[in-house]
């Protein structure tokens, strides 16, 4: 499977997001009204204020605090996977930095993420637009035919056309015998770690683990050996 995919033309990404405000009390009244309307069917018996801790998954009400990106550098005699993270409290600045990284890459570069087509890619595009940051060519979807969009989704690959279920990154890692990326925290903890613990570095490490795990799963789909610790380079 994926025998024709050139890994050296793939960038594996993951994003971490949080609500734009630390808690419901800090949300302006008009924004809370919009949030209540947006989530009316999702909240069930919860109030909009009680449900606000989930605002990070909605691009209209959340913001990106970390983007981790990994690039393969595979040669005949060496294998390297280099990871760089863009993070901080200034979403516009980190989006600009990530966009500049993409601009230095080939326009034929493929992006890869787990559940990327339903979350990472559209969320990135919406926040780029909201922050007024120019779109890098790899995220330009307008005017392209579906087969011209170089976006790989490991969850979609695992579905093989089956649309009935969601398969988490953690579950797929377990299927392939890959170490879990959730050994310290999972996505449900990101908001509290960011706003309450104020530990952004912990979130960056978690984001990088997700990128490594997604890369390992992609290698499994290609039938290639997994990355060793020696192969992985974190770029500060």
99, part of any domain: yes
pLDDT attached to residue 142 = 84
202, part of any domain: yes
Residue range of the domain that includes 83: 7-20+61-235
Query: DSSP readout, 58-94?
Result: STTTEEEEEEEEEEEEEETTEEEEEEEEEESS-HHHH
pLDDT attached to residue 77 = 85
Q: What is the DSSP letter of 176?
A: T
pLDDT attached to residue 188 = 87
112, part of any domain: yes
142, part of any domain: yes
pLDDT attached to residue 76 = 83
195, part of any domain: yes
Domain CATH number, residue 218: 3.30.420.10
State the first-to-last Cα distance of the chain, in angstroms, to the nearest integer: 33
pLDDT attached to residue 93 = 97
Distance of alpha carbon 140 from alpha carbon 121, whole angstroms: 10
136, part of any domain: yes
In sequence order, the β-bridge partners of residue 64 are: 17
Distance of alpha carbon 27 from alpha carbon 12, whole angstroms: 34
14, part of any domain: yes
Say how many domains are in the chain.
Answer: 1
pLDDT tens, per residue, the chain with 236 residues? 887 899 999 999 999 999 999 999 999 999 999 999 999 999 888 999 999 999 999 999 999 999 999 999 998 888 999 999 999 999 999 999 999 999 999 888 999 999 999 999 999 999 999 999 999 999 988 888 888 788 999 999 999 888 877 899 999 999 999 988 778 888 889 999 999 999 999 999 999 999 999 999 999 999 999 999 999 999 97
139, part of any domain: yes
pLDDT attached to residue 38 = 95
pLDDT attached to residue 223 = 92
């Amino acid at each position: 499977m994926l025998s024709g995919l050139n890994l050296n033309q793939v960038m594996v990404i993951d994003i971490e997001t949080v609500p734009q405000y630390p808690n419901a009390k800090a949300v302006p009244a008009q924004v809370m009204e919009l949030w209540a309307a947006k989530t009316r069917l999702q909240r069930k018996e919860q109030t909009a204020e009680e449900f606000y801790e989930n605002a990070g998954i909605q691009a209209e009400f959340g913001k990106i605090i970390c983007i981790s990106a990994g690039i393969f550098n595979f040669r005949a005699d060496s294998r390297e996977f280099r990871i760089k993270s863009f993070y901080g409290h200034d979403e516009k600045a980190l989006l600009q930095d990530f966009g500049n990284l993409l601009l230095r890459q080939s326009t034929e570069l493929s992006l890869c993420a787990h559940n990327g087509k339903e979350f990472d890619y559209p969320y990135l595009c919406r926040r780029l637009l909201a922050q007024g940051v120019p779109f890098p060519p790899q995220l330009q979807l307008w005017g392209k035919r579906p087969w011209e969009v170089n976006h790989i989704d490991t969850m979609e690959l695992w579905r093989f056309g089956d649309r009935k279920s969601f398969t988490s990154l953690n579950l797929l890692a377990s299927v392939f015998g890959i170490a879990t990326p959730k050994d310290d925290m999972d996505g449900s903890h990101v908001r509290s770690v960011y706003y309450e613990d104020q530990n952004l570095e912990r979130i960056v490490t978690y984001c990088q683990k997700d990128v490594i795990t997604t890369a390992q799963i992609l290698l499994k789909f290609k039938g290639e050996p997994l990355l060793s610790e020696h192969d992985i380079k974190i770029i500060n």
